[in-house]
Amino acid sequence: MSTLLVPYYEHPSVRPAEWDAIVAAAPRLHGVVLNPASGPGDRPDPAFAETAARLRAAGARVLGYTDTDYGRRPHTDVVRDLTRYRDWYGTDGVFLDQVGAGPEEFPHYQKLAVAAWGLGCTTLVLNHGTPPHPSYARIADVLVTFEGTWDSYRRLPPQPRPGTTGVRLCHLVYDVPPGVDLAELARARGASVHCAVPGAGDHPWGTLPHTLEPAR
């Protein structure tokens, strides 16, 4: 079962070798998050369109990144992003970032899920960064229940599964030293999808997992 979800927020023309490495690893990836401009941008980017086509041809699931600002971003703006990803990049699903975790935000995200399904979305990933209310398990395929540093992750106890559905949990960890087997640690903490990168600071997702780094 593919367990590695890769959010890589660099332009293909700037980091072509890294994108080549991601495409080559497609058979063992759960998915790749595409993020041209903190979202799809205002117009199609030919380099990202070509990369998305290569990923799909290699068998990778392609997810469009969209920020939801913890439920504060208007429904119409998020749906516009999802539509652009489908039309411009042929995405298979969506990666909603900064997702609210409480029951009071759930109706907003339920409506977004319905809109995403209507647009042909087959995979819905919700990045809460923390365990959400169990209701979110009813609408998502993957719930990101941890996003943070390696130091914080080492202290994370096993997490309860939200709800009784088949939703998969994901942990996104950065500032990770070489040689760490996050897959085993993630499973012990209840997550079957994961990503561990060495990057730190404000832009950790501009680095690849050690196992995907291209040869220099």
pTM for the whole structure? 0.96
- pLDDT of the residue at 213: 84
Instruction: Please give the C-alpha separations between residue 46 and each of 80, 120, 135, 180, in angstroms, as whole numbers.
Output: 19, 22, 38, 36
- pLDDT of the residue at 1: 52
- pLDDT of the residue at 58: 97
Q: Which of 5, 1, 2 is nearest to 145 (CA)?
A: 5
| DSSP H stretches of helix in 39-105 | 46-57, 75-84
Q: Are 181 and 213 within 8 A, CB to CB?
A: no
- pLDDT of the residue at 169: 95
Per-10-residue mean pLDDT, the chain, length 216: 91 97 95 98 98 97 98 98 98 98 98 98 97 95 97 87 82 95 90 96 95 79
